[in-house]
Amino acid sequence: MAKRIEVSDLNIYYGDFLAVEGVNVAIEPRSITALIGPSGCGKSTFLRSLNRMHEVIPGARVEGKVVMDGQDLYGADVDPVDVRRHVGMVFQRPNPFPTMSIYENVLAGNRLNSRRMKKSEADDVVERSLRGANLWNEVKDRLDRPGSGLSGGQQQRLCIARAIAVEPDVLLMDEPCSALDPISTLAIEDLMTELKDRFTIVIVTHNMQQAARVSESTGFFNLNGVGQPGRLIEFNPTEKIFSNPDQKATEDYISGRFG
C-alpha cells in the first residue's frame, strides 16, 4: 500500500512568484518524513504540491516531476482528483464537515464520491478508521452526533480517521498538532507511529522536538530572504540532522541561531 515518492527539480509558483525552487528528494515508504524550517520557507507549499492541492489556489502552478511508484503525478494524463484519492491530507486546523455527524464525517470520502456501500461494510470502515485514529472508544456511543461537538484534539483525530478511511497510499500532515494541547499532541504522535506501518507519512512541523521524536528522515527548508524562493537545504536521516547536520544553516536553525 505505502508508496515511495521521488521528487525531482520541483519548482512551485504562485502566479509569477517562485515560492519553492529546485527540490530533489526521495520519500521512503512506511516511514515518517518530517519537514522543518522557518515560517514562509515553502514547507506547506511543497507538501500541498505532493497531492496536487497546490493548484487549487488560483494562479498556482508547478514545474518538475513528482513520481509515485513510477508514475508522474503531474503527467498530462493524470487526473488531480485521482491523485488526491491516493494521497490523503490532514490540515493544520481540524476541519470536520459541520453538516455531518461523526459517522458521516468518517465516511465522507466514500459517500461524497457516491461509492455504494452496504450498511455493514460502512460500519466496518467507520470502526476500523476510528480505531486506527485512536478515537473509537471516545465516540463509539455518539456516532450520530455532529463532528463539530468534539474537542479540538478529537476533531483532529476525526480528520485523520476521515483521511485514512479512503485507504490512501500516502498521508500528508500539515502541522497537525499546532492547534492542539500537549496531551492531544502526544495522542496524535503515537497515532502517527502506529500508522507508519501502513502509510507513507509526510509531516510539516514547527516543533523540532516533534520532528526528532517521530520521524525517520527530516528535510530542512530555508530561504535566503524575503521574496526569495524557499529551498530544500538538507535532507538526511533525522538522527544525523539533529546531531551532525551537513549544512551550517541547518545547525544554526536547529540550535536556535537564525535570522
Partner 1 sequence: MSTDTRPAAPAPVPPSRPVRVERRLPRLAPLGLYLAGLALGAGVSALTGSGLASTVVYGVVLGTLAVYLAARSVEGRRKATDRLVTCLVTTAFALAMVPLVSLVWTVLGNGLARFDATFFTNSMFRVVGEGGGAYHAILGTLVITALATAISVPIGLMTAVYLVEYATGRLKRAITFFVDVMTGIPSIVAGLFAFALFTLLFGNDVRLGVMGAVALSVLMIPVVVRSCEEVLKLVPNELREASLALGVPKWRTIVKVVLPTAIAGLGTGVTLAVARVVGETAPLLVTVGLITGTNLDPFDGRMATLPVFAYYQLTQPGTDTQAFLDRAWTAALVLIILVMALNVVARLISRLLAPKTGR
Distance CA 171, CA 163 (A): 8
51 binds partner 1 (CB under 8 A): yes
Stretch that binds partner 1, among 15-23, 61-69, 157-165, 237-245 (CB under 8 A): 157-165
- Residues across the chain: 259
Q: At what angle do helices 119-132 and 152-165 cross, to 10 degrees?
A: 130
99 binds partner 1 (CB under 8 A): yes
- Mark residues 116-155: x for contact with partner 1 by CB under 8 A, - for none: -----------------------------xx-xx------
3-state secondary structure of 60: strand
Residue 189 C-alpha from the chain's centroid:
13
Q: Is the Cβ of residue 15 or residue 75 nearer to partner 1 in the bound state?
A: 15
| Neighbour tally for 70: CB within 10 Å | 8
166 binds partner 1 (CB under 8 A): yes
226 binds partner 1 (CB under 8 A): no
**Cβ-contact 241, 252 below 8 angstroms:** no
Q: Which residues of this protein are in contact with partner 1, per CB under 8 A?
A: 51, 53, 56, 58, 81-86, 88-89, 91, 93, 95-99, 108-109, 111-114, 145-146, 148-149, 159, 162-163, 166
